[in-house]
Chains A and B, each alone.
Chain A
Amino acid sequence: MKKNDLLFAGAAVAAALALFLLGKIFLFPQEGGVVSVYRGKELLFSCPLTEERREEIVSPDGGKNVLVIQNGEAYIEDADCPDKLCMRQGRIAKAGETLVCLPHRLSVTIEGGEGSAARGAGTDKNT
């Protein structure tokens, strides 16, 4: 193992840490508020995390995901895609956290509450 190999590994780890802190401090600082569901860049619906809700989301190609919002957390309860990665991503509650289902082009994002700047920026980017 050459010295440059170690330097590269160090640089990549440092970049990962820097990006993580950058995201925590500048990009998504607030606690969660609103769950937004997107297909591609189109907003399907959004609702507050405090709501108790069970939503069946059907894609145009027939694919199906069941989103559950409960106890201030959102998760995918069921999906009919083969890999079920969206279900394995677990529960999300903090602003910026996202569940994605690539086969159905679906993403569920927690956006900052109280009409914050982050929420405005988020919706701008997605329109």
Chain B
Amino acid sequence: MGRLLKKPAYMGLLLTFSLILSYVETLLPMPFALPGMKLGLGNLAVLLTLYLAGGREAFLLNLLRILLSGFLFGSLYGILYSMAGAALSFLAMLAAKGTGRFGVAGVSMAGGVFHNVGQLLAAALIVRTKGLFWYLPPLLLSGVVTGFLIGAAGRETLRALSGLFRRLP
């Protein structure tokens, strides 16, 4: 299954999927006021690619996803923060999956938590105030919650896909 999905057509499918998720995310009202707090639906596509294809493919998808969704739905500033968050998040997910000791939910939670840490670090570089420290605890918590939700969705999607792809040539 892993090798099958390295084909460009499937990568295109996953990238499109990630863009649709990013769009859906812009439609969701976020009741939380803290900047950087979001569901991170797009990470579902990254998570799936990580499991279905591999680290290199997931990295490429992540990069393209941020650039494309940033220009489509966001701003240049948004891209900057997303990049910082995604870089740390991706490394965390790669490391967590590499150990082989975490399930899909654990890998996704590592991604969620470190995405928020990365974004906060980027924000701290731009607005240098120690008041930003107060954002860290709530952002850690939201990373766990959103990471778990995305991870649960990812696990079920992978389960469904594994049946589907077995039947493809």
Contacts and interface: CB of A to CB of B under 8 A. Distances in A.
Contacts of B103: 1-2, 4-5
Contact of A96 (B33, B96, B133, B137): B133
B101 A2 contact: yes
A104 to B, nearest CB: 10
Quick one: which of A15, A82, A102 has the most chain B CB within 10 A?
A102
Given A4-B106, A16-B136, A89-B33, A105 B143 contact: no
A12 B127 contact: no
B123 A96 contact: no
Interface string B141-169: 10110001001000000000000000000
Q: Classify chain B: how many residues form its interface, as a range.
A: 20 to 34
A30 to B, nearest CB: 14
B128 A12 contact: no
B45 to A, nearest CB: 20
Nearest to A7: B106
A44 interface: no
Quick one: which of A12, A15, A96 has the most chain B CB within 10 A?
A12
A90 B140 contact: no
A56 B102 CA distance: 51
A47 interface: no
Contact of B127 (A1, A4, A105): A105
A122 B96 CA distance: 36
Interface residues of A, number: 38
B113 interface: yes
B102 A5 contact: yes
Interface in B1-45: 33-35
B5 to A, nearest CB: 24
A86 B27 CA distance: 20
Contact of A12 (B35, B75, B113, B126): B113
Interface string B71-90: 00001010001000000000
A-B CB proximity, top 10 nearest: A98-B131, A5-B106, A16-B140, A2-B103, A16-B137, A41-B128, A20-B137, A109-B131, A88-B33, A107-B127
Interface of A: 1-2, 4-5, 8-9, 12-13, 15-17, 19-20, 23, 27, 38, 40-41, 82-83, 85, 88-90, 96-98, 100, 102-103, 105-107, 109-110, 122, 125-126
23 contacts: A2-B105, A2-B106, A4-B103, A8-B102, A8-B109, A9-B148, A13-B141, A16-B140, A16-B141, A40-B126, A40-B128, A85-B35, A88-B33, A96-B133, A97-B131, A98-B132, A98-B134, A102-B35, A103-B75, A107-B132, A109-B130, A109-B131, A125-B130
